[in-house]
Structure 1
Amino acid sequence: MKRLHEAFQLVKSNLSQAREQQKTQYDKRVKEQKFNVGDKVLLDMRTPLTGISKKLIPGFIGPFRILKVNNNSTVEIQQDVGKQTQLVHVNRIKPLFE
């Protein structure tokens, strides 16, 4: 039982060390973007539509306008006035430069 407990402690410490290493690698390449209400953005289309080849699907759709910016890295976007709003994570949008 003592050896089993020591093995669990070793696994726990190795997992926390690996988690920290992965976080530092992620933080090196992530670009945090700030979005404001009224900005125009494009939405990433990752999910393929049924019946259409993945090669023919556009990478981004839009433009969308940001209606609300939340504290938890999500924004509320709307394509046209009067259409339904969508709540998306900031990783799925990119700014539109006209």
Structure 2
Amino acid sequence: MRASQSRQKSYHDKRRKNLEFQEGDHVFLRVTPTTGVGRALKMRKLTPRFIGPYQILKRVGNVAYQIALPPSLSNLHSVFHVSQLRKYIFDPSHVIESDKVQIKENLTFETLPLRIEDQKSKELRGKTISLVKVVWGGATSESVTWEVESQMRDSYPELFPSVLGSATVFRRDIFI
């Protein structure tokens, strides 16, 4: 029995490498249901196995590290065993550029009506509603929506050829 254990230990020790991190390194944190991380994230089927990267603040013991957690994980203890960490290797493709969209405090952004492409009437039970197809543009790509013609005439008379007006800045708030 001891010979078998010794043989298995030697197999394991050949492949084992001791992990050590320095202060300032970035690591991924393992998400498992047994640790508090899995419970904090409301573990689901498609939850990633590792989250992060997070920065190492200091080494606490031989095999424990304190990491900087975001406010969303503030209910967790910030010290983790080295087995729960994986080294993060920086890759420029991991950096995601945000769009140049300026979002306001009420989570809206501005789009501008560019032109009216089409017009149609929609028949309801007792009345007819005139609709216009408006092409919107702005910081994002162009989008097309059908709007009520009377509301568009009141808000943006410059878009209609029958009414001449001065060029003004148009605004439409989109909720995210």
TM range (shorter): 0.5 to 0.7
Alpha-carbon RMSD across the aligned residues, in angstroms, is 2.4
Amino acid at match of 1:94: R
CA shift digits 1:46-94 (9 cap, x unpaired)? 22555622xx01011012111121343111112248x565221112111
Distance 1:68 1:85, change over 3 A: farther
TM-score by length of 2: 0.39
Residue 90 (structure 1) aligns with: 82
TM-score by length of 1: 0.65
Residue 30 (structure 1) aligns with: 16
SS of residue in 2 equivalent to 1:24? helix
Residue 19 (structure 1) aligns with: 5
What are the within-5 Å matches in structure 2 for residues 1-98 of structure 1? 14=1, 16-47=2-33, 52-53=44-45, 56-80=46-70, 83=74, 85-98=77-90
Q: Which has the higher contact order (CA 8 A, sep 6+)?
A: 1
Amino acid at match of 2:52: G
Residue 5 (structure 1) aligns with: none
The structure carrying a bigger strand percent of its residues is 2
The structure carrying a bigger helix percent of its residues is 1
Amino acid at match of 1:40: H
The count of aligned residue pairs is 81
Question: Tell me, which stretches of 5 or more residues in structure 1 are unaligned?
Answer: 1-13
